[in-house]
Structure 1
């Protein structure tokens, strides 16, 4: 999996597997499969990894600390880049910076950002599970328990959003996209949650 990802970074056209997908430039399978495969492997060996990490408390502390530090650094860097701030310790061409974090081919620094945020998010959820569950459990738990269903169905809901967005923008008063976009996104999440709760098409769509 990682060899395929690395090949795509160097030879993207040759690594377009399993075949060329028309209009699929924004989601190259050869690159993004590495997150899916790695996540499945980590999940499969979760018990063994947990036992192994329990023997290395310092390693866990270092991993969480690094994850938090990198996450904060990336947030600061992104904010500074957007606002034209200069970093004396990080003088790099914006084009090089954008390429290093480019989302579509899943560049190495994008993976570093993903891993660091994942570590911080997982650790936060572990230590603050009780309040998080009280506030968001009603929403997140059903979606997580039907993750594959949610992932599949959300593509169709995105099509719905694409068709509704122009209609909303055509309303009198020309509502700002800053307002309409979050409303549509929240509505889609709530609609998806309702579909999961009602188990709509659970006998057909994998869940």
Structure 2
């Protein structure tokens, strides 16, 4: 390990062995981000494969009032800022644009393919596609159809698919990411290349504030389906800030080595623990009450959750939670990389490096498992075996690079 790495690790803490620290090599790829994205995958499975199992103890917003979507979007922004930012700094924005455009085309294509494949599956008589063609709103006991009727016109289906106005709700966050990548990324890099970072961040906050103060679902400029759950005017905030952090990663890391930076890490850890305590009081109606702390009245929790932690608008409490959780996890991986990598890096890193592929594949795994009797048993241990088995299948598919030639990863 280099002297710089030893010095950096001791800057954060004197009591954690320096030999545990992440080896800073200066490489563009940061395995800590791959590890974090891989960690998101079990949380994703706990959410979309909605079976009560051991995964629930980390999924279903158990580590904070944040979902997999916020973590995925902010990580995507950071990685885009690092990878394409390096090219912008080295070759300039015009030379970088072809790569951005090609990535945009790939992302858009895979989204349309997903929508059309699910649309075609609806016509197979022995497959029940309800789980990916409808959305059940449990609090209001209402089911929404996500696709046009089977007897609708083909032209309507195709036009809605091209505009991302239909599709499985389990894939919606990818649709949002596609649109943000296409519409926002070039503008962000243009302003960064002109050193207008504060103007960029100011505009991002103004757009967020306009949406935050508007009536619910009144501002959906793209008209795409994902905006019902992930309105782009709100969610662009964490994506844009993620790109900026990735673009200035060296400067950001240097700040966290200062006295103020170390105090910010301590504050982030304490706040993350506080948010974790809060979310463990969530009175979820469809899980046993013995797993909740029940120290905060249900009415109080629901008020705080609705007022400050709205997922669609990214309430200010949820925004703070995702930021401090991100800082805390990154600091933990920086300090304790070697033992954490040995323990679970073999599993998380491959999944994190192929996260888009996993998002695509998991929709069809969900369809397959829901067409078996297994979910109907509603047994804790069967559900746990299902979750672990499905994750193992995805991990093997990633390691074998199954369909990597056709599915972006």
Q: Same fold (TM over 0.5)?
A: yes
Aligned length: 194
Q: Does 1:18 align with 2:222?
A: yes
- For residues 113-148 of structure 1, the C-alpha deviation after alignment (integer angstroms, 9 at most, x for no partner) is 111111111111111111111111111111222233
1:115 corresponds in structure 2 to 323
Hey, what does 1:152 align to over in structure 2? 360
Q: Cα distance 1:175–1:125, how it changes in 2: closer, same or farther (>3 A)?
A: same
What value does the CA root-mean-square deviation take over the aligned residues?
2.7
Q: 1:43-82 residue pairs with structure 2 within 5 A?
A: 43-54=246-257, 57-80=258-281, 82=283
Cα gap change, 1:33/1:153 in structure 2, threshold over 3 Å: closer, same or farther? farther
How far is the alpha carbon of 1:149 from its aligned partner? 2.6
Change (3 A) 1:206 1:80: closer
| Alpha-carbon distance between aligned partners in 1 of 2:382 and 2:209, rounded to the nearest angstrom | 39
The alpha-carbon deviation at position 162 of structure 1 amounts to 4.2
Q: Distance in 1 between matches of 2:273 and 2:334?
A: 19
Larger mean CA deviation between 146-155 and 122-131 belongs to 146-155
> Could you tell me the TM-score, scaled by structure 2's length?
0.42
Runs of 5+ unmatched residues, structure 2: 1-203, 284-292
Aligned to 2:225, what secondary structure does the other structure show?
A: coil
Q: Which residue of 1 aligns with 2:339?
A: 131
Using CA pairs under 8 Å that are at least 6 residues apart, name the structure with larger relative contact order, 1 or 2: 2
- In the superposition, relative to structure 1, how do residues 37 and 150 fare at CA in structure 2: closer, same or farther (>3 Å)? farther
Q: Which residue of 2 aligns with 1:193?
A: 395
Runs of 5+ unmatched residues, structure 1: none
Structure 2 match to 1:182: 384
Are the counterparts in 2 of residues 4 and 15 from structure 1 also a CA contact under 8 Å?
Answer: no
- The CA distance in 2 between the partners of 1:119 and 1:14, in whole Å, is 33
Partner of 1:102: 310
Shift in alpha-carbon separation, 1:115–1:73, aligned structure 2, 3 A? same
CA contact (8 A) 2:256 2:265 kept: no
Equivalent pair of 1:7/1:15 in contact (CA under 8 Å): no
Whether the 8 Å CA contact 1:5–1:30 is kept in 2: the answer is yes
Q: Which moved more, 1:93-102 or 1:150-159?
A: 150-159
The Cα shift of 1:53 comes to 4.2
State the shift of 1:81 in Å. 5.3
Q: Judging changes above 3 Å, is the alpha-carbon distance between structure 1 residues 109 and 161 closer, same or farther for their aligned structure 2 residues?
A: farther
Change (3 A) 1:63 1:43: same
Matches within 5 A, 1:29-44: 29-44=232-247
**Change in 2 beyond 3 A, CA 1:61/1:44:** same
From 75, 79, 85, the equivalent of 2:295 is 85
TM-score, with normalisation over the residues of structure 1? 0.78
1:130-174 deviation per Cα after TM superposition (whole angstroms, max 9, x unaligned) = 11111111111112222333333334434444444xx2144xxx3
Q: Highest Rg: 1 or 2?
A: 2
Whether contact under 8 Å (1:142, 1:197) holds in the other structure is: yes
Asked whether the 8 Å contact 2:369–2:375 carries over to 1, the reply is: no
Distance (whole Å) between structure 2 residues aligned to residue 196 and residue 97 of structure 1 = 40
